[in-house]
Amino acid sequence: MTTIDRTSAQTRTVQTRDVVVIGGNRIPFARAHGAYATASNQDMLTSGLNGLVARFGLQGQRIGSVAGGAVMKHSKNFNLVRESVLGTPLDPATPATDVQMACATGMEAIGSLADKIRLGRIESGIGAGVDSISDAPIVVTDALRRILMEANRAKTPGQRLKALAKIRPGHLAPQAPGVNEPRTGMSMGEHMAVTAHAWGIGRQEQDELALASHQNLAAAYDDGFFDDLVTPFKGVQRDTNLRADSTLEKLGKLAPAFGRDLGEEATMTAANSTALTDGASAVLLGSADYAEAHDLPQLATFVDYEQAAVDFVDGAEGLLMAPAYAAARMLERNGLTFEDFEYFEIHEAFASTVLAQIAAWEDEEFCRGKLGLDAPLGRIDRSRLNIHGSSLAAGHPFAATGGRIVATLAKMLHGKPGKLGFISVCAAGGQGITAILEGR
Amino acid sequence: MTDRIEEQSTGPVDVRRIELPALKDIYVHAGWESARSAVAPRSSGAADELPGHAVVARHPGASAQQLEQYRLLFGGEPFDGVHRRGLPSVLAHILAFPVQMGLLAEEAFPLPLMGMVHLSNAVEHRRRVTVDEPVQIKAWTEGLRPHRRGTQFDAVVEVLADAADVGRPAESEVLWRGVSTYLSRGAHLAGRPGDGEPERQPESSEREEFIPPAKTGQWRLGADMGRRYAAVSGDWNPIHISSVSARMLGMPRAIVHGMYAAGRMLEGREPDDAGHRWRITFEAPMRLPCTVAFHAERRGVDASAGQVVETFTGWDPRKGRRHFTGELASPA
C-alpha cells in the first residue's frame, strides 16, 4: 500500500500558482458552405495559430504544450494540432495534443493546460479549437467498410473476390457524420426543444436573447473590441452569421425549426438556434512568471474549471443541462455565488439553452433536489450576460467556441483586478464545462 | 404488471416432439393457403377450438454470429462473453418463434396464419440464456376469445433447459416464457358473439385521447427495416418485407415487426443476468418508412416487489397516434 506524505502534498498545494490568460486570436467564423467552403480544419487552425504567434511574438519559441481539437475530424487528422503547429513559425519542438469533448473541446483543452501550468509542469500553453461543417469527414457505410476489411484480410484472390462480391449499390452511398445523439436518435435541437418545453421557456424571450446577441456582437465589432482578438481569413473580416439589422418582428415571423411535434408550443427557430459554422480559435496561457519574462499582457487569471455530465438517455435530465451541475460544484468549491460575478458568458447553443440554465439556477426545487444545494445559485443579471455577443450571432464552430469565449471574457476583465467572470459551455453526450476567470 | 403471464398455465399434457420448423417453408405454405382460400374461401371463417396439444423442438441455441448480427441491427453494447453474455429477450423470442409458427401452421389450428395481427407480448425472462446454449422450445396456444374485430388467442412459448422434462419442467428449467397475443381479423367463434352481436368494446374514437409524453428518443425506421429485422430473425412474413408484398395481404405499406420495436425498447435496459419481465402492447401499426417518437421513464424502485419499473411509449409524432406501450420490471 502506498501512503501519501501529507507534508509534501501540502507543500505541493502551496507550490501551485496563478495561470494567466495572455490573449487570444481567432479567425472570423463563417456560415457553413460559405466563405470557408474549401478550407480544411488544418488550414483554419494553422491560420488561427499563426495570428496568435504574430500577435504575441512567439516565432521560434517552444511552447510548453498546444492542446486543441475538432469535433468533426477526418481520420487522417489524427495529429491535427501537431500538424497545424508544424505549419506555424513556432519551434518545431513544441508538443501538441488532440483533445475531443464535443462542443466543450476548446474549454477542456484550455482548462487542462491551465492545470498543467498551475502544477508547474509547463510554463506556457496554447488551447485551441477548430471545426468545419463545409469539409465534414464523409465516410463509407459500415457495411462497405466491413466488406473492404474482409477483402483486406483475405489470403487468396478467390476469398477477396468472394468478399467484394457482397458489395451492393446501397453500400456505396457516402455517409456524412451523424447529427443525432447516438443513444436517443434525437438531434441536439430536438433534445433542447424537450428541455425548453419542460422549463416553460417562451418564444419571445428566446428571440430577445438572439436579437441581443446580434446587437451586442455588432456593437463590439463597431467599437473595435475584436481588433486584437480576430485576424481576417480568406478576406473575411467579421463573423458572417452576424445580422446587425435584425429585429424582433423579423425573428418573430420564423417558423419553428425544432420541436415541431409540440405544435403551437414549439418555440425554437433557425434564428434562436445557432447556425452551423466554420472557424478556429486559439488562446495563449502562461504562468505569471512566463508572461512577465516575455513582456506579455496578463488579461485575467484562469481560476478554475469543472466538467459535468448528466443522465439524459431516458430523459432523467436535459441533454444540455450539464453546466448547471458543473456550476454548482465549481461555485461551492470556490465559496462563490452568482452575486460575486461581474460577467457571464453562457454559450448560446440555442437561446433556450441559456434561458433553461438560468431558470434552473434560479429554481429552488431544482437547486435543492438536483444540485443538492441549500438555496438557489441565484439570479443572473441580464445586463452582465454575453455583453459582447455570443454563439447565436458569432456562430459556433464547435471546438472553436471555448477559445472565443475565454479570450473575449479575459479581455473584458482586463484592468478590473479581482472582478470575476463565469463561463458555461454545454456539449453533446450530456456533458458540459464551466469556468471562472478573474480580472488582473 | 397486469398480463396473462400471471396465470402461469403449464400447457397441455399432450406434448408432441417436432423437428425445428423452417419459417420459410411455413410462409410459403401459408401464402399458398391464403391464395387458395381467397379463391375458394373456407366455409364460414368460424373458429372453434385451439389445438389441444403442445409442440416441442430442440434448438442448438443462438450462434455467436447471430448474436453479432442482432447487435449490428440494434447497436447495443458488445457481447464480450464477460460483461454481456445473456441473449437479449427478443433474441430468445427469435429462437422460439419458428416452433410457435410451426404449431400455428398445423392443420389442426383453426385460424388462418396470414394476416394475423400481433396485439401484445408479455415475457418473463427468468434465467440467462447464453450463446451456443442448446435449449428446448415448447409452444402451445390457449385463451381463444372474442375481440371486437375478430378472435384473439395467446401463443405461449417456453425456452426450456436442454435437459428439462418437457411435459413437466421444473421451475428452474423454464429459462424464458413468452405469451404472444394475436388477433385473427374477421374470424368469429362459433356460438359466441359474432358479426350480429359484437362484444361491446369502446371504439377508437371513444378511447381516451392520447396525450404524447415528453420525447426521450426518436427512431428513424427506413423502408428496409422490415427486411433488416427479417435477415436477423428469419421472420420473412410478407407484411414486413415490402410495400408490394404487404399490399398482397391487404396492408397499404409494409409494417415493422412488433418485436423489432420490443428489441429497440429493451436495448441497453435488460439486466444481463435476467430475472426480468416485460410486456409490449401494440396499437397503430408502424408503417415503413416512419419516424417513431419514443418515451422511456424510470418509475423508481418498488422496494416491496424488489424491482425497478420502466415504462415506454412509442407514437407517431406527426399524427399523435400511439404505436405501442411497454413496461419492463427488473430486479432492483
Q: What is the pLDDT of residues A373-416, one digit of tens each?
A: 999 999 999 999 999 999 999 999 999 999 999 999 999 999 99
Would you call B289 an interface residue with chain A, using a CB distance cutoff of 8 Å? no
The whole-number pLDDT of residue B198 equals 45
Nearest to B14 by CA among B55, B63, B61: B55
Give the A window 279-318 contacts with B, CB below 8 Å: 313-316
Q: Would residue B196 count as lying in a domain? A: no
- pLDDT tens, A147-177? 999 999 999 999 999 999 999 988 888 888 7
Please choose, from the candidates A81, A78, A9, the residue with its C-alpha nearest in 3D space to the C-alpha of residue A46: A81
The pLDDT value recorded for residue B38 is 62
Lowest pLDDT segment from A426-435, B77-86, B268-277 = B77-86
pLDDT at A109: 98
**pLDDT (average), residues B323-329:** 98
Q: Quick check: is B97 in a domain? A: yes
Residue A11: pLDDT band by 50, 70, 90 thresholds? very low
* pLDDT at residue A137 greater than cutoff 90: no
Q: Which of B212, B261, B69, B232 is nearest to A315 (CA)?
A: B212
Place of cell 373456407: B42
Domain assignment of residue B236, given as a range: 4-187+213-331
Confidence of residue A337 (pLDDT cuts 50, 70, 90): very high
Judge whether A200 is closer than 8 Å to chain B, CB to CB: no
What is the mean pLDDT of the segment spanning B83-103?
A: 96
Which of B218, B298, B316, B330 would you mutate first to test chain A, the one with the most A CBs within 10 A?
Answer: B218
Quick one: average pLDDT of B26-37? 77
Percent pLDDT > 90 in chain B is 67
- What are φ and ψ of residue A262, in 5° steps? -80, -5
Q: In sequence order, what are the beta bridge partners of B292?
A: B219
Q: Which of A33, A103, A171, A191 is catalytic?
A: A103
Cβ B188 vs Cβ B146: under 8 Å:
yes
Partner-chain contact B216 A261, CB within 8 Å:
no
Whether the pLDDT of residue B201 is over 70: the answer is: no
Q: The domain spanning residue B114 has which CATH number?
A: 3.10.129.10
The answer to whether the CB atoms of B214 and A184 lie below 8 A apart is no
**Residue A287: its pLDDT value, please?**
98
Task: Answer yes or no: is pLDDT of B5 > 70.
Answer: no
Q: Quick one: pLDDT band at residue B191, thresholds 50, 70, 90?
A: low
Ramachandran region, residue B89 (left: φ > 0; alpha: ψ -120 to 50; beta: rest):
alpha
Domain at A188-225+303-439, CATH class: alpha beta
pLDDT at A241: 97
Q: What is the mean pLDDT of chain B?
A: 88
Say what the pLDDT of residue B186 is.
Answer: 80
> Catalytic site residue A367?
no
Is residue B194 pLDDT above 80, yes or no?
no
Cross-chain residue pair A198–B318, CB shorter than 8 Å: no
Per the domain annotation, does B202 fall within a domain? no
Contact A438, A52 (CB under 8 A): no
Q: Is residue B183 part of a domain?
A: yes
pLDDT average, residue stretch A116-127: 97
> What percentage of residues in chain A have a pLDDT greater than 90?
90
For A438, the enclosing helix (H) or strand (E) is: strand A431-439
Q: Give the per-residue pLDDT at B301.
A: 86
pLDDT digits (tens, 9 = 90+) for A13-64: 546 899 999 999 999 999 999 999 999 999 999 999 999 999 999 999 999 9
What's the average model confidence in pLDDT over A358-364?
A: 97
- A420-427 and A341-346 beta bridge pairing: parallel
Q: How many pairs of residues across A and B have Cβ atoms under 8 Å apart?
A: 46
What ipTM was reported for this prediction?
Answer: 0.84
Please say if the pLDDT value at position B76 is more than 80: yes
As a whole number of angstroms, the distance between CA A246 and CA A211 comes to 7
- Those of residues 59-78 in B touching chain A at CB distance below 8 A are 72, 75
| Predicted local distance difference test score (pLDDT) of residue B4 | 46
Contact A349, A427 (CB under 8 A): no
Domain ranges, ordered by start, for chain A: 188-225+303-439
User: pLDDT tens across B265-321, in order?
Assistant: 999 999 999 999 999 999 999 999 999 999 999 888 888 888 999 999 999 999 999
Contact A186 B218 (CB under 8 A): yes
Query: Hey, is A312 helix, strand or coil?
Result: coil
Is residue A206 predicted with pLDDT exceeding 70?
yes
pTM: 0.89
pLDDT at residue B197 above 60? no
Does position B195 have pLDDT exceeding 80, yes or no? no
Q: Measured between alpha carbons, how far is B66 from A318 in angstroms, rounded to an integer?
A: 36
pLDDT band at B196 (very low <50, low <70, confident <90, very high): very low
With respect to residue B113, please indicate whether it lies within any of the assigned structural domains: yes
Residue B36 has pLDDT above 80, yes or no: no
B114 lies in some domain: yes
User: Which residues of chain A neighbour B310 with C-beta distances below 8 Å?
Assistant: 314
Assess whether pLDDT exceeds 70 at residue A192. yes
Per-residue pLDDT, A385: 98
Q: What is the band of B250 on the pLDDT scale with cuts at 50, 70, 90?
A: confident
Contact residues, chain B, for A186 at CB < 8 Å: 215-218
Mutate to test the interface with B, among A186, A260, A310, A311 (most CBs of B within 10 A): A186
pLDDT in tens, A290-305: 999 999 999 999 999 9
Domain count, chain B: 1
* Nine cell digits for residue B71: 447487435
Closest Cα in chain B, distance from residue A313 (Å): 7
Q: Is the dihedral of CA A248, A252, A253, A257 positive or negative?
A: positive
pLDDT interval class at B207 (50, 70, 90): low
Cell triple for B60: 442448438
Q: Looking at CA atoms only, how far is residue B297 from chain A in angstroms?
A: 6
Q: Which of A182-196, A307-321, A395-409, B190-204 is predicted least confidently?
A: B190-204
Nearest chain B Cα to A196, which residue? B214
Contact A186 B317 (CB under 8 A): no
Distance between CA atoms of B290 and B22, rounded to whole angstroms? 30
Helix residue ranges per DSSP H, A16-123: 41-56, 80-86, 105-118
Across B89-93, B185-189, B195-199, which has the greatest mean pLDDT?
B89-93
